[in-house]
Structure 1
Amino acid sequence: MVTGIVIPADESQPIFQREFKRLSEYQEVVGGYIEAVDLGPLGASFFAHDESKLIGSPINRRATLAWWLACPYMRHRDTIGGDVVLVGLPDSEGDTKSVPDELIALLFTTKAYKAEYQTADSNDTFNGNSMIYEDYWEAVQAALVKFDRWEAVIRARVVPA
């Protein structure tokens, strides 16, 4: 069984954990055939509907922001539509793994967040400021705004405060 996190496109709906046994269960959540969207630095992937744009699914802002944060080269180039499932990266045999425990903790038990930035002149360290956010998605959006406005930033992340 694989533990995933469902992220509904409708932001009035909370994210939630769910156990998955079969491909059909992922397809049920996303509403059709799935495609994997890699979130490499997070050690995770999204399963999303492979034709979400063609069928007019609403943009999943939360999933899109998380994707842009993990994969800066996709910022403002593409979006993720519809409900998605966050899972771990596949193992060496291609089998889906559960979402990493640290992501579960970050999304469900962390009470305060901060954004940190890595700049071109300090590729080994992340630095932040005193801004604290109570909502993970608000912190992700703030990190991306800074990323867009400060050319020296090469990576950003959201961590517990």
Structure 2
Amino acid sequence: MVQGIIIPADDKAPLRAATFEKPEDFDRAVDEWAEAVHIPHVGVRMHLNLEGSNRQLSYNRRATFLWWFYIPGVRGEARLLGDIVLVGLAHNEEESADLTIEIRRQLLEPGVYRVRSRERGGGRWHEEPIDRDDYLETVIWATLLMEMSSALEVQIACIGYGGGARKP
């Protein structure tokens, strides 16, 4: 049994926690033919519909930008289509695991996030003046900043969860 999150292609639909009892459950959640895309340094894998383009599934903006943020080499080269299942990546990378508590919290609970940037190679981090209350919307803005200037390093800081702030 694996605990994960479904990222719907419909931007208006909320992300939802899901339990997957067996590998076939991934296929069912993405409307058959699941293929895995790994984001190893974050420890997650995305299950997506391999036939998304042929079946004319909708563009999944939130999942695509999450992928592009952490794997810049695919930015602009490919888009993820249809609903996406996000689960943890097991140590052997062939199996799925539960998402970490931190990732589940970022994606499912209300929080306050801020984008920080600096020139590559060091220097002081500069904080964007706008706080965002959605982690994926913050990821989208951070990815757009990286796309605008390859000279920037970009990170996302959590300013707080729920009503209580915490230091980044």
TM-score (norm 1): 0.88
Matched, 1:13 2:24: no
Match of 2:133 in 1: 134
Q: Deviations over 1:87-117 (max 9, x none)?
A: 0112227321111211011112242111234
Aligned sequence identity (%)? 26
Q: In the comparison of the two structures, how many residue pairs are matched?
A: 159
Which one has the bigger helix percentage? 1
User: In angstroms, what is the RMSD of aligned CA positions?
Assistant: 2.0
Quote the offset at 1:128 in angstroms: 3.4
- How far apart, in 2, do the equivalents of 1:117 and 1:110 lie? 23
Matched, 1:113 2:131: no
- How far apart, in 1, do the equivalents of 2:118 and 2:100 lie? 23
- How far apart, in 2, do the equivalents of 1:69 and 1:126 lie? 18
- How far apart, in 1, do the equivalents of 2:5 and 2:57 lie? 19
Counting only pairs closer than 5 Å after superposition, residues 1-161 of structure 1 correspond to structure 2 as 1-92=1-92, 94-117=94-117, 119-122=119-122, 128-154=127-153, 156-161=154-159
Identify if the C-alpha distance between structure 1 residues 121 and 100 changes in structure 2 by more than 3 Å, giving closer, same or farther: same
What SS class does the counterpart of residue 87 from structure 2 fall into?
A: strand
Q: Deviations over 1:63-96 (max 9, x none)?
A: 0010000101111110000001000112227321
Identify if the C-alpha distance between structure 1 residues 73 and 127 changes in structure 2 by more than 3 Å, giving closer, same or farther: farther
Contact 1:110 1:160 survives alignment (8 Å): no
- How far apart, in 2, do the equivalents of 1:137 and 1:160 lie? 12
What SS class does the counterpart of residue 131 from structure 2 fall into?
A: coil
- How far apart, in 2, do the equivalents of 1:55 and 1:89 lie? 27
What SS class does the counterpart of residue 41 from structure 1 fall into?
A: coil
Quote the offset at 1:129 in angstroms: 3.1
Quote the offset at 1:122 in angstroms: 2.2
- How far apart, in 1, do the equivalents of 2:149 and 2:38 lie? 25
Aligned residue identity for 1:148: E
Contact 2:107 2:136 survives alignment (8 Å): no
Contact 2:10 2:60 survives alignment (8 Å): yes
Contact 1:43 1:88 survives alignment (8 Å): yes
Aligned residue identity for 2:145: K
